[in-house]
Amino acid sequence: MNERYSRQILFREIGREGQEKLLTSRVLLVGCGALGASHAEMLARAGVGHLRIVDRDFVEFTNLQRQTLFKESDAAERLPKAIAAKTRIAEINSEIDVKALIADVNRSNVESLIDGCDLVLDGTDNFQVRYLLNDACVKHGKTWIYGAAVSSYGTTMTIIPGETPCLRCIFDEMPDAGSSPTCDTAGVIMPIIATVAAAQVAEALKILVGETDSLHRSLLQFDVWANDRQRIKLGEPNPDCKTCGQRIFEFLDAEAQEFSAVLCGRNAVQIAPPKPTSINLQQLAEKIRNITELKQNKYLVRFTSGGTEVTVFGDGRAIISGTDDISTARSLYARFIGS
């Protein structure tokens, strides 16, 4: 084993045996924004051998204040976050195998995404995906680590199906859209991202090396500005919980899914095709070039129409910035990409 990990091996609780376990571990990172980028960097440096990174978005200049893996050139090129992360990780630790997926995590793909992973880390920015992830992980007995940060406060909890309460045991109902502050409405500072991500990754390392007696088994809450820390001890799973008690997977089994979503206060709407698809970006670019000017890279095509900017990905999704009106976004999608 190379000297790269010598200080981590000296740490008794990991040791040589733990390091070997890390090198063969597989972790799914759901979302590669502020939390996800921190998870990816810490896990890659620690030598977690296989990372599957899924993210639906591209790098913007507003991300650079807190999303540590990304550079100005990534934002200038509008590189998808999953791709930018993979490229940067290869420079940090070339021994790590990274699968980068530019995709929205939804009902149709969440079970295949978690399949084969030892652990799932939550780096998303919305409850819709977290409840879906909770359903999928409880159903398949996968451990996942919830994390969220906004403004100067954040929270995390480790969910081991059958052993600890699940997300729904604690938060029975999903908060109403617009009821919680988001990074785009309340802002966010880097130190809380680092705090929550560090707590999540510490738990991840304990799980991957098998040191489960050291897990915090709590709902941890931090406020780095108000200097508050709370540790609420978790009890047993709630037998009445819909998800882990009754095993009713409402989010996974939902008959219809909303495939357009207003992106968290960003003045942008995402439109996704109703089933997984792949589109030929080159053909699309040629078609659109006749109508309006466009920019493209290997992973996306982007153009403006009226006051909006449309970014189309290879999986058929589009993010329409400059509007939060779903019908405007839908009609642009139909007009340029096809309904």
Give contact residues for Zn ion (rule: CB under 5 A).
166, 168-169, 241, 243-244
Give the three-class secondary structure for 64. coil
**Residue with smaller CB distance to Zn ion, 93 or 238:** 238
User: Which is nearer to Zn ion, 15 or 245 (by Cβ)?
Assistant: 245
* Least CB distance to Zn ion at residue 220 (A): 18
Query: How far apart (Å, rounded) are the C-alpha atoms in residues 228 and 216?
Result: 17
Q: 310 and 302 in contact (C-beta within 8 Å)?
A: yes
Retrieve residue 111's tokens: 């079970």
Minimum CB separation of residue 210 from Zn ion in Å reads 24
The 8-class DSSP code of residue 237 comes to: P
The DSSP result for 102-129, as a single string, is E----TTTHHHHHTT-SEEEE--S-HHH
Q: Which lies closer to Zn ion via its Cβ, residue 146 or residue 333?
A: 146
Give the residue with the Cβ less far from Zn ion, 137 or 183.
Answer: 137
Separation between Cα atoms, residue 334 and residue 330, nearest integer Å: 6
Residue among 119, 126, 122 nearest 142 (CA): 119
Distance CA(242)–CA(273), nearest Å, equals 29
Q: How far is the CB of 232 from Zn ion (least distance, A)?
A: 16
Phi, psi of 100 (to 5 degrees): -105, 125
Query: Shortest Cβ distance from residue 110 to Zn ion (Å)?
Result: 17
- Is the Cβ of residue 247 or residue 289 nearer to Zn ion in the bound state? 247
CB of 196 to Zn ion, least distance (A): 22
